[in-house]
């Protein structure tokens, strides 16, 4: 029997009914009177100066209310304080195909689109950079003038003594890995509705209200304030239901600022909803990454040193880039015990949409390389891949060589579980030709221990208000984006107060109502907002208990709360009748004290939740509680440059086994099953944890086998849900989630993250299974049939198929500008004769 | 383009409204009738978030002209609830974690509802085939299958009990 009444139970999300009936409202479901439709004009050039913009014809069109350009809001912003390099609309220069040039507000979508056609823009094309290694050589026509060599940021970290470590190794593996670009493709296209009120005192445009599909309402409020030069107190950001984020809504997306700027100019509410194509253009996904990795191991598999050089193709703006490149290095640590690490990270600007944070931020591509190489060393040394992972386990509590503190560590249990469930020892090596098993591990932060904007503020705060009706209202800034944030908050509060979930109403992510919270990213909500909710509930419980103790003539320590009742320790509790009536004590709500006085002639030993609440309000004059969370100083990492990224109060752990077959005729890889064991500390709601783990594994599977953004001259070739090839139900294998509970000492009820950590293990588990099946090492993702076939041919020593120049997925040397897809035979499709980018790049294709 | 008067039957009720001949059914449902349960996810019938039923057949409203469906019985997600409460399928999606962000859920409701109406005991491959018209980015579909299987099972038991009672 569980010691908890709500925690650990399989329960439906508190907002589930709204989702299955269609009653739940997402940003695009809102309308306000007088609302206009906004449409954005995007750049057709990857890199060009804007010489002239003439909007007069567009303005003259009947039904157009406003046209705005970069000059209307030139203040720079960006999600990172070190990366304020974006403007709402381009000022003087465009940096990628799809960059934002102008916005029209009109009475209908049709008229707005007509007006876009009437805007005249004169561009002067500049040389564009598409390959990060080429881009790093640039000396002129830089993408941002203040970034020499188009280098956004580089870091060079040495921990321990890597040279000595490699010298001690019995075997050193070295290879280049390439991970192509993927994007979130959340089902809900981004949408923002911005509306100004008239200030009654000045008679002018006053407060701004924004409904937006965002994971970070408070950052949005902050950046709107910067760009619009409005005090933050004059801006209200409301996050309605969000149709998936995965990091794609974890920063300020151009349309959020543009909608507000346009509404200000139009003097009317403006709603902008991206088309699916625009969602692909705005991107902010996982960058294409080149990883040069070197691992030294002893004969028993123990890792002596790791050297890793990472180049990320970051796109045209900084976005989360500096954090991404740091995560790629920092989270080499904290999974295994690695004594010596060298890391060189380069975040490079190119003329493509900006990359940002995506599920497993910064860690996924490097983890693919690392776990693949570890498997390779195991094979070379004749060791069981599972055993190699076991000999490299950390011994917590530990601080890694790069300063990450690890307390709870469920990885050993995860490895054991997947070995048992997949029958690893029995089946591996006994499978028919073309079928194999592969193993890999991963981990992830439960929120960053240091916030983006350095300050001493708590990362999460939760307020609770309880009134005489016995209803508990919880105010949290945490953003529900489908991961179960609101449900987790309700569960934590209900558990502490010993009441049913039905009493709890969660008000979330509305900057006017809820206390500040950094938002939903880096898997921080359960750990941080969960801890804040726990403390807020304990705070309010203290007041209920002290009043109840008075009524029951006992000390507060002897007051117990559970099952919607409050009683004195040791009292024989009456059967449910009284508490069952708790819904029918309306007379008590206002006259509670009178009623209670009459009842209380004999000493009370128990009361209903309402009675206790009424007693507490009478006693304290009100019943509220507040709690906040900031990560402890010990968990905030080392002192080196860039040490702020990577530290977390706790890490989740994952181990996976993939069962895969490879068709040697067609190159098609079929994943039959994945066993995924995940250490989430404690599963507060197993249904939600399993959903997160399975969803992560599934998304990793998409990146491993089929998802890829394909580029040609800076133009995306596949900006559609089918062309991008998000896996459908027929392509999705059985995924078995095994929950491992390590009970973290600092997590709320011991909980850690569950939403991201599993993703990174899936890709190498599949690549290692492909090796087990057919003996090829694929070092470039996704493992499309073309790449698998090319590798099988290379293994046989057969001539390369001339599908594209220089492709060898086992030894990728460089990026191909078209993303390495072999669909285009290395050339890409014909460009339209009048396509401006064509003229620039020589134009012979 | 000039608007014309059209008549649509949606969720058992008749509506007269003015719409352009090129108006999409999805836009009319969402903007003119306020039925925002049906979602636009992709604009081009790739994702299934806009799935509605036309005379019981699941179809993609984002690429259908509203005027062409006059005289048809159109059902949206708002029309499948069970007497003001959740239909068994809607309840099961909550209990088993079939929706996370929920944006694709109305489309799945209409697809699965259509499947079970025409084939009350579909096999696993039949379920997968039917669901392949809709995309979800959160769940990996696994928990949806659990929900659907639970509904099929409950429905089967219900039928058996009724048969015994008779």
SS3 A304: strand
The span from the CA of A448 to the CA of A456, in Å, is 14
Q: What is the pLDDT of residues A258-272, one digit of tens each?
A: 999 999 999 999 999
At residue A829, the pLDDT reads 42
Q: In the predicted model, what is the mean pLDDT of chain B?
A: 96
User: Taking CA atoms, what residue in B is nearest to A109?
Assistant: B27
Query: Given the DSSP bridges, would you call strands A460-466 and A472-476 parallel, antiparallel or unpaired?
Result: antiparallel
User: Which among A476, A490, A482 is positioned nearest to A519, based on CA atoms?
Assistant: A476
What are the chain A neighbours of B49 within 8 Å (beta carbons)?
Answer: 187
The parts of chain B modelled with pLDDT lower than 70 are none
At residue A142, the pLDDT reads 96
At residue A712, the pLDDT reads 81
* Nearest neighbour of B37 by CB, restricted to A22, A726, A728: A22
* Nearest neighbour of B135 by CB, restricted to A19, A691, A728: A728
Better pLDDT: A134 or A826: A134
At residue A826, the pLDDT reads 36
What are the chain B neighbours of A10 within 8 Å (beta carbons)?
Answer: 95
User: Taking CA atoms, what residue in B is nearest to A691?
Assistant: B139
The lowest-confidence range among A165-174, A196-205, A606-615, A805-814 is A805-814
The span from the CA of A761 to the CA of A756, in Å, is 10
User: Which among A819, A809, A721, A754 is positioned nearest to A188, based on CA atoms?
Assistant: A721
Average pLDDT over residues A695-716: 93
For residue A582, name the pLDDT band (cuts at 50, 70, 90): very low
Q: How far is B17 from chain A (nearest CA, A)?
A: 17
What are the chain B neighbours of A732 within 8 Å (beta carbons)?
Answer: 140-142
Average pLDDT over residues A151-158: 98
Asked if residue A801 has pLDDT above 90, the reply is no
pTM higher than 0.80 for the full model?
yes
Asked if residue A15 has pLDDT above 50, the reply is yes
The burial class, CB within 10 Å (0-12 / 13-18 / 19+), for A229 is exposed
For residue A834, name the pLDDT band (cuts at 50, 70, 90): low
Start-to-end C-alpha separation, chain B: 59
User: Which among A29, A101, A388 is positioned nearest to A258, based on CA atoms?
Assistant: A101
User: Taking CA atoms, what residue in B is nearest to A29?
Assistant: B36
Asked if residue A604 has pLDDT above 90, the reply is no
Contact B140 A23 (CB under 8 A): no
At residue A570, the pLDDT reads 86
Contacts of A77 (CB under 8 A, 6+ apart): A84, A86, A87, A223, A226, A227, A252, A257
Asked if residue A823 has pLDDT above 70, the reply is no
ω into A397 cis (within 30 of 0) = yes
Binding-face residues of A in 157-186 toward B, CB within 8 A: 184-186
At residue A435, the pLDDT reads 98
At residue A807, the pLDDT reads 58
Q: Does the ipTM surpass 0.90?
A: yes
For residue A843, name the pLDDT band (cuts at 50, 70, 90): very low
The burial class, CB within 10 Å (0-12 / 13-18 / 19+), for B33 is middle
Contact A695 B102 (CB under 8 A): no
* Nearest neighbour of A721 by CB, restricted to B42, B95, B106: B42
Q: How far is A844 from chain B (nearest CA, A)?
A: 32
What are the chain B neighbours of A730 within 8 Å (beta carbons)?
Answer: 128-129, 132
Positive or negative: CA dihedral A804, A805, A811, A817: negative
Contact B135 A277 (CB under 8 A): no
Contacts of A801 (CB under 8 A, 6+ apart): A789, A790, A793
| Strand partners for B48 | none
∠ CA A428-A706-A801, rounded to 5°: 85
Contacts of A641 (CB under 8 A, 6+ apart): A155
For residue A793, name the pLDDT band (cuts at 50, 70, 90): confident
Binding-face residues of A in 217-246 toward B, CB within 8 A: 241-246
Asked if residue A580 has pLDDT above 80, the reply is no
For residue A831, name the pLDDT band (cuts at 50, 70, 90): very low
Contact A694 B128 (CB under 8 A): no
For residue A743, name the pLDDT band (cuts at 50, 70, 90): very high
Q: How far is A603 from chain B (nearest CA, A)?
A: 43
Q: How far is B32 from chain A (nearest CA, A)?
A: 12
Strand positions, DSSP E, A663-707: 669-679
A735–chain B Cβ distance below 8 A for any pair: yes
SS3 A603: coil
At residue A603, the pLDDT reads 61
What are the chain B neighbours of A29 within 8 Å (beta carbons)?
Answer: 30, 36
User: Which among A793, A827, A826, A822 is positioned nearest to A810, based on CA atoms?
Assistant: A793
At residue A761, the pLDDT reads 98
φ, ψ of residue A102 in degrees (nearest 5):
-155, 165
SS3 A727: coil
What are the chain B neighbours of A690 within 8 Å (beta carbons)?
Answer: 97, 143
For residue A586, name the pLDDT band (cuts at 50, 70, 90): very low
A672–chain B Cβ distance below 8 A for any pair: no
Q: What is the pLDDT of residues A638-693, one digit of tens each?
A: 999 999 999 999 999 999 999 999 999 999 999 999 999 999 999 999 999 999 99
Q: In the predicted model, what is the mean pLDDT of chain A?
A: 92
Binding-face residues of A in 675-694 toward B, CB within 8 A: 687-688, 690-691, 694
Contact A188 B41 (CB under 8 A): yes
The span from the CA of B153 to the CA of A562, in Å, is 35
SS3 A699: helix
At residue A798, the pLDDT reads 74
Contact B81 A698 (CB under 8 A): no
Cβ of A827: how many Cβ atoms within 10 Å?
A: 11
* Nearest neighbour of A275 by CB, restricted to B43, B109, B139: B43
What totals of helices (H) and strands (E) does chain B contain, helices first? 5, 5
Q: How far is A590 from chain B (nearest CA, A)?
A: 32
Average pLDDT over residues A372-393: 98
Binding-face residues of A in 745-804 toward B, CB within 8 A: none
Contact B137 A699 (CB under 8 A): yes
For residue A583, name the pLDDT band (cuts at 50, 70, 90): very low
A320–chain B Cβ distance below 8 A for any pair: no
At residue B166, the pLDDT reads 80
Asked if residue A838 has pLDDT above 60, the reply is no
> CA-CA distances (angstroms) from residue A787 to A663, A705, A717, A777, A793?
13, 10, 19, 11, 10
At residue A827, the pLDDT reads 40
For residue A573, name the pLDDT band (cuts at 50, 70, 90): low
* Nearest neighbour of A16 by CB, restricted to B42, B99, B139: B99
Q: What is the pLDDT of residues B59-96, one digit of tens each?
A: 999 999 999 999 999 999 999 988 889 999 999 999 99
The burial class, CB within 10 Å (0-12 / 13-18 / 19+), for A743 is middle
Written as one string, the DSSP assignment of A506-532 is: EEESBTTTS--B--S-TT-IIIIIHHH
B44–chain A Cβ distance below 8 A for any pair: yes
Binding-face residues of B in 104-123 toward A, CB within 8 A: 104-106, 109
Q: How far is B165 from chain A (nearest CA, A)?
A: 32
């Amino acid at each position: 029997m569980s010691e908890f009444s709500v925690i650990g139970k399989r329960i439906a999300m508190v907002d589930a009914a709204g989702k299955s009936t269609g009653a739940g409202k997402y940003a695009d479901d809102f309308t306000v009177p007088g609302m206009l439709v906004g449409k954005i004009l995007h750049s057709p050039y990857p890199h060009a100066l804007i010489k002239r913009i003439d909007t007069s014809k567009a303005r003259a069109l009947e039904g157009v209310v406003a046209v705005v350009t970069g000059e209307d809001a030139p203040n720079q912003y960006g999600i990172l304080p070190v990366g304020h390099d974006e403007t709402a609309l381009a000022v003087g220069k465009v940096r990628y195909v799809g960059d934002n040039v102008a916005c029209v507000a009109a009475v209908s979508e049709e008229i707005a689109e007509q007006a876009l056609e009437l805007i005249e823009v004169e561009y002067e094309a500049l040389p564009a950079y598409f390959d990060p290694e080429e881009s790093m050589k640039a000396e002129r026509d830089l993408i941002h003038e203040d970034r020499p060599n188009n280098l956004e940021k580089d870091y060079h970290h040495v921990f321990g003594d890597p040279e000595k470590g490699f010298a001690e190794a019995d075997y050193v593996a070295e290879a280049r890995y390439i991970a192509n670009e993927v994007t979130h493709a959340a089902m809900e296209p981004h949408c923002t509705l911005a509306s100004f009120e008239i200030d009654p005192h000045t008679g002018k445009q006053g407060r701004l209200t924004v409904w937006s599909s965002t994971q970070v309402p408070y950052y949005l409020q902050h950046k709107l304030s910067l760009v619009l030069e409005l005090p933050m107190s004059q801006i209200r950001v409301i996050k309605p239901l969000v149709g998936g984020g995965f990091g794609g809504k974890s920063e300020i997306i151009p349309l959020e600022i543009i909608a507000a700027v346009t509404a200000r100019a139009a003097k009317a509410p403006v709603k902008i909803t991206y088309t699916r194509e625009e969602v692909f253009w705005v991107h902010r996904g996982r960058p294409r990454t080149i990883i040069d990795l070197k691992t030294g191991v002893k004969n028993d598999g123990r890792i002596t040193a790791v050297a890793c050089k990472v180049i990320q193709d970051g796109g045209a703006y900084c976005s989360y880039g500096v954090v991404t490149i740091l995560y790629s290095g920092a989270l080499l640590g904290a999974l295994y015990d690695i004594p010596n690490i060298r890391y060189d990270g380069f975040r490079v600007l190119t003329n493509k949409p900006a990359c940002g944070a995506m599920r497993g931020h910064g860690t996924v591509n490097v983890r693919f390389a690392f776990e693949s190489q570890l498997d390779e060393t195991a094979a070379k040394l004749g060791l069981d891949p599972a055993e190699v992972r076991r000999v490299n386990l950390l011994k917590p509590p530990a601080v890694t060589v790069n300063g990450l503190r690890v307390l709870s560590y469920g990885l050993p249990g995860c490895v054991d579980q997947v070995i048992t469930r997949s029958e690893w020892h029995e089946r591996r090596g006994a499978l028919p030709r073309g079928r194999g098993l592969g193993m890999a591990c991963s981990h992830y932060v439960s929120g960053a221990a240091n916030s983006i904007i350095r300050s001493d503020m708590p990362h999460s705060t939760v307020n609770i208000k309880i009134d005489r009706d016995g209803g508990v209202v919880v105010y949290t800034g945490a953003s529900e984006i489908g991961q179960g944030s609101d449900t987790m908050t309700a569960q934590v509060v209900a558990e502490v107060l010993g009441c049913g979930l039905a009493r709890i109403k969660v008000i979330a992510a509305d900057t006017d109502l809820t206390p500040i919270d950094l938002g939903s990213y880096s898997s921080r909500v359960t750990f941080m907002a969960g801890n804040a909710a726990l403390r807020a509930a304990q705070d309010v419980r203290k007041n209920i208990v002290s009043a109840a103790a008075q009524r029951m003539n006992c000390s507060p320590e002897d007051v117990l709360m559970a099952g919607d009742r409050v009683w004195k320790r040791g009292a024989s509790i009456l059967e449910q009748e009284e508490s069952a009536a708790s819904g029918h004590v309306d007379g008590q709500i206002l006259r509670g004290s009178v009623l209670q006085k009459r009842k209380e002639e004999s000493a009370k030993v128990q009361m209903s939740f309402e009675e206790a609440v009424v007693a507490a309000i009478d006693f304290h004059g009100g019943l509220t509680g507040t709690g906040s969370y900031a990560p402890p100083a010990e968990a905030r990492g080392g002192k080196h440059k860039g040490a702020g990224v990577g530290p977390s109060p706790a890490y989740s752990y994952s181990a996976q086994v993939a069962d895969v077959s490879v068709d040697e005729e067609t190159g098609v890889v079929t994943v039959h099953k994945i066993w995924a064991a995940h250490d989430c500390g404690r599963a507060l709601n197993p249904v939600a944890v399993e959903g997160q783990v399975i969803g992560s594994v599934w998304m990793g599977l998409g990146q491993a086998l089929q998802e890829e953004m394909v580029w040609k001259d800076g133009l995306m070739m596949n900006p559609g849900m089918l062309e991008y090839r998000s896996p459908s139900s027929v392509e999705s294998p059985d995924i078995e989630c095994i929950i491992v509970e390590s009970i973290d000492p600092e997590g709320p009820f011991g909980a850690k993250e569950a939403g991201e950590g599993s993703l990174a293990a899936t890709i190498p588990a599949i690549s290692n299974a492909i090796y087990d099946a057919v003996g090829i090492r694929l070092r470039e993702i996704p493992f499309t049939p073309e790449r698998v076939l090319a590798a099988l041919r290379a293994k046989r020593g057969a001539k390369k198929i001339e599908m594209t120049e220089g492709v060898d997925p086992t030894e990728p040397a460089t990026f191909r500008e078209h993303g390495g897809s072999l669909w285009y035979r290395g050339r890409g499709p014909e460009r339209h004769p009048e396509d401006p980018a064509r003229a620039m790049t020589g134009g012979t294709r | 383009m000039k608007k014309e008067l059209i008549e649509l039957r949606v969720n058992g009720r008749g509506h007269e409204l003015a719409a352009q001949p090129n108006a999409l059914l999805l836009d009319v449902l969402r903007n003119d009738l306020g039925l925002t349960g049906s979602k636009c996810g992709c604009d081009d019938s790739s994702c299934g978030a806009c799935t509605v039923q036309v005379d019981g057949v699941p179809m993609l409203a984002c690429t259908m002209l509203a005027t062409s469906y006059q005289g048809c019985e159109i059902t949206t997600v708002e029309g499948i609830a069970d007497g003001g409460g959740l239909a068994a399928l809607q309840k099961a999606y909550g209990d088993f974690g079939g929706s996370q962000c929920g944006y694709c859920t109305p489309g799945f409701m209409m697809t699965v509802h259509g499947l079970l109406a025409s084939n009350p005991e579909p096999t696993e491959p039949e379920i997968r085939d039917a669901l392949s018209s809709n995309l979800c980015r959160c769940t990996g579909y696994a928990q949806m299958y659990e929900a659907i299987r639970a509904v099929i099972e409950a429905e089967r038991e219900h039928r058996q009990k009724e048969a015994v009672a008779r």
